[in-house]
Amino acid sequence: MEKKRYAQIGLGGRAWLFYEALTGEFASSTELVALSDRNPGRLAVAMNRVNARGAHPRGYIEADFETLIRETRPDILIVTTKDVYHAEYICRAMELGCDVVTEKPMTTDAAKCQRIIDTQRRTGRTLRVTFNYRYAPFRTQIKDLLMRGAIGEVLSVDFHWLLDIQHGADYFRRWHRNKRNSGGLLVHKATHHFDLMNWWLSTIPKTVFARGQRRFYTPETAERFGLYQRAERCLNCPEAGPCKFYLNMEIGEFKQLYLDNEGLDGYYRDRCVFSDAIDIEDSLQVIVTYQNGAQMSYSLNAFMPWEGYIIAFNGTRGRLEHHLVEQSYINADGTLPGQKKALSTTLIPHFGAPIEVTPWAAEGGHGGGDKHLIEDLFSPNPEPDPYLRAADQRAGAYSILTGIAANRAIQSGQPVVIDSLCHEIGMPDFTAMPGPDMPLAWRYRFDPDPDKD
Ligand SMILES: NC(=O)c1ccc[n+]([C@@H]2O[C@H](COP(=O)([O-])OP(=O)(O)OC[C@H]3O[C@@H](n4cnc5c(N)ncnc54)[C@H](O)[C@@H]3O)[C@@H](O)[C@H]2O)c1
C-alpha cells in the first residue's frame, strides 16, 4: 500500500495531536514528509520530537512554503497555524495540487471564506475541517437521538456555553485576544458550537442578531481586585503574588514552546488578561434563525466559575436536555468551590415520564472527540459513518458565518442575513432529520438505547 504523504504547518500547542498520530499509531499507512513554522525554535522542538520517534521529515520556515511543496510533494497539508493564516495556506496548497486538513476555525472573515470556497471549487481539491467536538461520543449520541426522532422535529434550542476563569482567561493572554487574529470568540471558539448546531439539526443558519461586550477582562476589573501595579505580561509582573490569573511561563510546554522562543518572533504567551489592548468580547448573546425554521438563543461567557454547557432542544414530541460540566475552578488548597464534573442527557416526552439517558462513554482529549477524529482522519479504511461527522469547506463556512454575522450585528445593531456574506457555498452533507411531516401521538415509546441487551 502506498503511504499518504503529509506536511504540517504551524507547530504550537495543538500541532502535536496530528504529528504524534502520523509518527505513531498511523506510521504504517502515512508518512510525515515536512514540518513548517514561522518560528525556527518551535520548528526545532517539533523536529526533535518526531526524530525521536523515528520519523525524519524535512523542516522549513514559513517563507519557504512553495519550496516545501515542490521538494517534498505532500498529498495532504495539515494547517495548524494561528487562525488568521489558515486561508492563505489552504488556498496556496490547493493551488499547488494538495488536499488540505485544517484546524478550526476554517478562517476568520467573510472575504477569506469566499476565497476558500472559490479556490476549492476551481481546483477540485478536498478540504477537511477538523471538528473534533462532533466526535465526542456523548455528542454523537445527541445526533443519534435527534435523528431517530426522540423529540420529533426540533423547533427551538437554548444553548449556553461557559468558559471558566482558567481556560476562558487564556483567550485573553495571547493572539486570540485580537479580532484581526481570531475573529473573536464568536468565530474562534463558537465555530465549534455553531457547527454542532448545524450538524445536530442538519441545517444552515439564515439570519443572526447579537450583542456583546467585554466587562470582566478590563483594566478596571484589575483595579477592583487591588492589582494597581500590574505589568503587560505575567513574567516578572509585580502583582504575580496576589493575581489568581498569573501564568507561570517557566514550566513545561509554556517554557519549551513559547518562553524559550519568544525572542525569535515576539510571541508572548502570558500577556495580562486585564490589558487595554484586548478587543474581543467576554460576554456574548446571539439569536439565530435556521433554514429549516428552527431558532436558537445562544450565549457565551468567558469568566465563569466552571466550564461546560447547558443545552436544551425543544421539539414537537418533547425536550432533550444535555448538560456538561468539564472542569471546575480548583482552589490552591485543593478544594473545589464550583460544581463537580458532570454529564447528563435527559429526554422529557410531552406526555410521559423523563428518561435519564446513559451517555456514550468517552476517553481522551475534548470529550473523547480528538481520538475518534484522528482515527477517522488517518485510518486507511475508515468505517462508514451514519452520522456524517467528516466536515468539508461547506460545513467549515457555515460554522464561521454565524459568528462573522454576529460580529457584524454587534457593530451595526442590526440583524445580518447569512446569504449577504458569502455565496455559492453549497449545502453540507447532512443526515435526514424528522421534519414537519413526522406524525404526533398522545403516547409514544422511544428507546434511547435500542442496541443494549
Ligand atoms: N479543535 C480544537 O479543539 C483546537 C484546540 C486548540 C487549538 N485549535 C486550533 O489550532 C490552531 C493552532 O492553535 P495553537 O493553540 O496550537 O496555537 P499556538 O499559538 O500554540 O501555535 C500556532 C503556531 O503557528 C505558528 N504560526 C503563526 N503564524 C504562522 C504563519 N504565518 N506561518 C507558519 N506558522 C505560523 C506559530 O509560530 C505557532 O507555532 C488554531 O487555529 C486553533 O484555533 C483547535
Packing angle, helices 393-412 and 110-123, rounded to 10: 160
**Choice from 17, 82, 179 to test ligand 1 binding pocket (greatest atom count within 8 A of CB):** 82
Across the beta sheet with 154-164, the strand order is: 355-357, 342-349, 318-328, 306-315, 154-164, 295-304, 283-290, 205-213, 416-417
C-beta 396 within 6 A of ligand 1: no
Q: Is 326 helix (H, G, I), strand (E, B) or coil?
A: strand
Given a cut of 50, the residues of the chain with pLDDT beneath it are: none
The 10 Å CB-count burial string (b at 16+, else e) for 258-286 is bbbbbeeeebbbbbbbbbeebebbbbbbb
- How much is the pLDDT for 453? 61
- How much is the pLDDT for 336? 60
- How much is the pLDDT for 439? 87
What separation in angstroms does the CA of 237 have from each of 168, 241, 341? 21, 9, 33
- How much is the pLDDT for 333? 60
Q: Which atom of ligand 1 is nearest to the CA of 88?
A: 31
The CA-CA-CA angle for residues 186, 412, 297, to 5°, reads 45
- How much is the pLDDT for 337? 60
What would the pLDDT profile of 285-337 be if each residue is shown by its tens digit? 999 999 999 999 999 999 999 999 999 999 999 999 999 998 766 555 656 66
Q: How far apart are CA 406 and CA 185, in angstroms?
A: 11
C-alpha cell at 152: 420529533
pTM of this structure = 0.96
The secondary structure of residue 71, as a DSSP letter, is H
Is there a contact between 223 and 243 (Cβ–Cβ < 8 Å)?
Answer: no
C-beta 60 within 6 A of ligand 1: no
Which residue, by CA, sits nearest to atom 25 of ligand 1? 10
